[in-house]
Each structure stands twice: as C-alpha cells, then as structure tokens.
Amino acid sequence: MSWLTVLVVLVVVTAGLLRWRRPAWYWLTFGVTLATLRVLIRYGSVMDACGLTVPPSRWRIAVARMANRPAPESRAPRILRVRPTRTGLVLRLGLRPGQDAFDVAASCDRLRHSFAMYGVTSREIRSGVVELRMTGYDILKRVQMPARVATVPMRVPVALREDGAVHYRDYRTTPHALTLGATKSGKSVYQRNLVAELASQDVALVGIDCKQGVELFPLARRFSALADNPDTAAELLDALVSHMEGVYHLIRAEQRITADVPDAEIAADIWDLPDHLRPTPVVLLVDEVAELALFATKDEEKRRDRIITALARLAQLGRAAGIYLEICGQRFGSELGKGITMLRAQLTGRTAHRVNDESSANMAFGDIAPDAVVAAIQIPTDKPGLAVVGDATGGWARVRTSHTTLRQAVNACNRHAHRTPDLPALARFRPTLPPNATVPAPAVESAPAPA
Ligand SMILES: Nc1ncnc2c1ncn2[C@@H]1O[C@H](COP(=O)(O)OP(=O)(O)OP(=O)(O)O)[C@@H](O)[C@H]1O
Ligand SMILES: [Mg+2]
C-alpha cells in the first residue's frame, strides 16, 4: 500500500509544482482532464445557479402529468461540442427557446468562478448557437504563440488573445491600422513582431522611424526603404505616392473592359492582376508618428503639411495599389494640427496599449467602442505588450504580443534578406548596408544602455 501512497503524493506534488511554475504544462498534463470533468459534472447545477435554464415547456408538463410522472426540471442550453485546446476549453452551446446570446455573455464572470477557470468569454456563432471559450490559466502572463499558425499572404499572427485565439493582422481586410500607447507600453515590440512575421512574405517593407532609426535600422536588410528623420520621411512619402500612381497606371493599362472579359477578370486592385504583373505590396511602418506632425518653424510647418497630406493620400488611395499603413504613436489627436483626425478616420484597425489618460484611449476607441476605452486605461504598467484591439465586428479584445527581442527580429530579417524587393521609385531610400553584408548584424541587445 505504501508505494501507492508515495505515487499519489508524488503526482499531487508534481501537479502542484507544475501549476505554480509552469501553468501551460500543468494544463496539458492534468488541467485539461480535470477541467473537462469538472465542467461536464457541474454543468447542470451551474447553469441553473447562473440563471441560464428555461422552465419546461407546457407540452412537457402536460405529458408528465398524463404519465403521472414528477414535473420535468428546467433545462440548460444543450452542449453541442466540448473541445479541449492548448490553453483551455471551447464549449459550443445550443440555446433553448427564449434564451439569447446576451444572457450567456452577461453570465461569463459567474461561469468563470463556478467552473474554476481563469477566463470565460462568449460569442455568438449563429442564431441559437453560442461558443464559450474558457482559459485554464493566465495565458497572457507569458505569451507562447502556437507552434503552427495558419499563414496566408498578407495576414500575419501578431499576438495572443485572452481567450486563447491567435490575433492576426490581416492587411487585406484591414488595410491601415493605428497603434497607440504610452511610452514603454510595447508599441515598438508590436511593430517588431509584425516585421519579423512579414519578413518571410513577398512584401516590401518601408519604414519611418523618427527615433533616429533605433527601432527599425537594425532590421534594415529586409527593408526596401527607410527614413530616420522628418526631412527624409517627407521625400520618402512623396516617392511612395508616385509609386502608388505608377501602380494605378499599371492597373488601368490592364483594365481592358470589353464585352467578352468576364466580370471576375476586371482588375480594380493589384490582387486582380495576373501573378506575373502584380506589383509587390508595400507595408509602410511609421514609429512615433507625432514626430512627423510637430513643427517649430515656418519651414517645418510646410514639411509637416506635406507629410500629413501624403499620409492622408496613401491612406485614402493606397489599399487598391497594395500600400498598407501601420502607424504607431503615443498620441494621435487633433492637437497635432489639421488633417490628423481625417487621417485617423482612415485607419481602420485600432490597437491601444497602456495609456496614461482617457483622452489617449479615446483617440483609438472613442469613436468605435466606449467600453474598450475603459479596458485600455486599466492595463497595468507591469504588463508591457498587453493591448486592447478593436475587431472587425465592432467588438474588442485583450491581446498580448509575444516578446520578440530585437535579436530575434534581426535574425528573421537577415534570414529573409534575399526577399527584399527593389522598388525603383524608392531606390534612393534603400538603407546602405555594411560592405561585408554577410557579417551578422551587431548584437544590439547586448549593447550598453545609453546613460
Ligand atoms: N509582449 C511583451 N512581453 C514582455 N515584455 C514586453 C512586451 N512588449 C514590450 N515589452 C517590454 O517593454 C519594453 C518597452 O517596449 P517598447 O519599446 O515596445 O515600448 P514603446 O511603447 O515602443 O515605448 P516608446 O514609446 O518609448 O518607444 C521592451 O523593452 C520590453 O522589455
Ligand atoms: Mg517605441
């Protein structure tokens, strides 16, 4: 008997240790089975306690009465499917007549406590079917992206959602995006993640980094054009606008609309062009955008107007020419002068990292989802990289980027340096590389921090 006791104690201690030190391993070894059993066993009583049951229908009561059986009980939503995942459980429920998805959404916090899960969120799949996504532990504490994620051209995984799903940045559905956040909130790491993921795709990366290029220049080998000050940025943006016009000429030249051309073959954007003619899509990354909009002298004001006009034109017209904007900054509001709110309105994708005040969060979500504003303000300082993202349905979600170090991003860019396309219109801005290009990039991370 004693060896059995030792075994049980060993298992319990291992489980406890794993739960404390390695929650992800605990979940995969013990947690998932225990949680599945707990949910299935407690399901009926929890739903009843959370007010998610409906009284029996009249005909069921009548049948019970006729058969002289006890009155039937209230019924909980039907479990259509239980799917264990790497981070939690997904429960698909069929609602009973009279229930709605809002009832379930309103009970998420109660369900979380009742099933002893870390988080529970719900979403409607279709009429009458709701999905409950439960997480077994705090997956945003130490983000681990799944080893295999679906990569589609112009759609890259960039962060993990609090419900365990991967958050993608999809340039085809959301061409332009704005990322806001206070200093040291994780904006540049978010952008670095994007660069590291985009590096392996057939896309031209163009960067404007007014912090003297400290964030983007180490990744220069994968960039087709880079600017590290507002003067170069103004010229680069003008060149990008002429590149865009060139692409439109190409599309027009291909648009021979005659009666015998099938509708599907009429080109209206670069993705309708045949592969051999399609220009490479361009992602323009701007870090610290406010630097481009600030001015002290008359000349700088002219430069600022030129920059904002070019950005607004790219945001308005760029999508069909395959030019996508990814703009990062601490604030991006009307105090930066005319044209800013118009430009902001063009940036569909919104992400807010930790912000210092409500007005900064309002710049991201004020006009879309007021409760996302509150969520952005509540992000704690000790969780850089945690952000609130607006999604395509008008809702929002909490996400956290994985901590890609500068070294990892440099390695990804160097590995895919051969993919860097030459854009003739932007050739002047192509970063000059050290003469011995095979020498690995400097170990930036180990460089001493400036005093
Ligand atoms: N997802 C993450 N997980 C863990 N740590 C992170 C994450 N994102 C950022 N950090 C940490 O936060 C620090 C600041 O991040 P980052 O440089 O991206 O901030 P920032 O918003 O760009 O700041 P600034 O406005 O000053 O440029 C990073 O050095 C990194 O250590
Ligand atoms: Mg930064």
Condensed to tens digits (0 to 9), the pLDDT of residues 422-440 reads: 899 999 999 887 665 554 4
State pLDDT tens for residues 267-318: 678 888 888 889 999 999 999 899 998 888 888 899 999 999 999 999 999 9
Average pLDDT across the chain, whole number = 88
Q: Using CB atoms within 10 A of its CB, is residue 346 exposed (0-12), middle (13-18) or buried (19+)?
A: buried
CA separation for the pair 417, 223 (Å, rounded)? 8
Ligand 1 lined by 189 (C-beta under 6 Å) = yes
| pLDDT > 50? residue 445 | no
Ligand 1 lined by 329 (C-beta under 6 Å) = no
Check the CA dihedral 357-360-363-369 and report its sign.
negative
| pLDDT > 60? residue 94 | yes
- Mean pLDDT across 129-141: 93
Atom of ligand 1 nearest to the CA of 192: 18
CA separation for the pair 274, 283 (Å, rounded)? 21
Residue nearest to atom 15 of ligand 1 (CA): 186
Residue nearest to atom 20 of ligand 1 (CA): 184
Ligand 1 lined by 99 (C-beta under 6 Å) = no
Q: Using CB atoms within 10 A of its CB, is residue 135 exposed (0-12), middle (13-18) or buried (19+)?
A: buried
To test ligand 1's pocket by mutation, which of 185, 192, 214, 404 has the most ligand atoms within 8 angstroms of CB?
A: 185
State pLDDT tens for residues 339-362: 898 999 899 899 999 998 888 888
- Of the listed ranges 3-12, 82-91, 262-271, 363-372, the least confidently predicted one is 262-271
| pLDDT > 80? residue 153 | yes
| pLDDT > 70? residue 396 | yes
CA of 8 from ligand 2 middle (Å) equals 50
- Of the listed ranges 211-215, 353-357, 378-382, 390-394, the least confidently predicted one is 390-394
Atom of ligand 1 nearest to the CA of 401: 1
Residues recorded for the chain: 451
CA separation for the pair 418, 221 (Å, rounded)? 9
| pLDDT > 60? residue 65 | yes
| pLDDT > 60? residue 450 | no
Ligand 1 lined by 181 (C-beta under 6 Å) = yes
To test ligand 1's pocket by mutation, which of 188, 209, 354, 406 has the most ligand atoms within 8 angstroms of CB?
A: 188
pLDDT band at 327 (very low <50, low <70, confident <90, very high): very high
| pLDDT > 80? residue 99 | yes
The confidence score (pLDDT) of residue 257 equals 62
CA of 370 from ligand 2 middle (Å) equals 26
The confidence score (pLDDT) of residue 147 equals 81
CA of 408 from ligand 1 middle (Å) equals 15
Ligand 1 lined by 191 (C-beta under 6 Å) = no
Structure tokens at 19: 């739960």
| pLDDT > 70? residue 264 | no
CA of 371 from ligand 2 middle (Å) equals 26
pLDDT band at 266 (very low <50, low <70, confident <90, very high): low
- Of the listed ranges 24-33, 144-153, 253-262, the least confidently predicted one is 253-262
| pLDDT > 80? residue 185 | yes
Residue nearest to atom 24 of ligand 1 (CA): 183
CA of 346 from ligand 2 middle (Å) equals 22
| pLDDT > 90? residue 34 | yes
State which residues have CB under 5 angstroms from ligand 2, the bound ion.
Answer: 187-188
Buried/exposed code over 43-52 (b: 16+ C-beta within 10 A; e: otherwise):
beebbeebeb
Ligand 1 lined by 404 (C-beta under 6 Å) = no
HEC states along the chain?
CHHHHHHHHHHHHHHHHHHHHCHHHHHHHHHHHHHHHHHHHHHHHHHHHCCCCECCCHHHHHHHHHCCCCCCCCECCEEEEEEECCCEEEEEEECCCCCCHHHHHHCHHHHHHHCCCCEEEEEEEECCEEEEEEECCCCCCCCCCCCCCCCECCEEEEEEECCCCEEEEECCCCCCEEEECCCCCCHHHHHHHHHHHHCCCCCEEEEEECCCCCCCHHHHHHEEEEECCHHHHHHHHHHHHHHHHHHHHHHHHHCCCCCCCCHHHCCCCHHHCCCCCCCCCEEEEEECCHHHHCCCCHHHHHHHHHHHHHHHHHHHHCHHHCEEEEEEECCCCHHHCCCHHHHHHHCCEEEECCCCCHHHHHHHHCCCCHHHHHHHHCCCCCCCCEEEEECCCCCEEEEEECCCCHHHHHHHHHHCHHHCCCCHHHHHHCCCCCCCCCCCCCCHHHCCCCC
pLDDT band at 77 (very low <50, low <70, confident <90, very high): very high
pLDDT band at 212 (very low <50, low <70, confident <90, very high): confident
Ligand 1 lined by 384 (C-beta under 6 Å) = yes
To test ligand 1's pocket by mutation, which of 189, 192, 388, 405 has the most ligand atoms within 8 angstroms of CB?
A: 189
CA separation for the pair 189, 445 (Å, rounded)? 13
| pLDDT > 50? residue 447 | no
Q: What is the pTM of this model?
A: 0.85
| CA angle, 222 then 224 then 229, to 5° | 105
Closest ligand relative to 190 C-alpha = 1
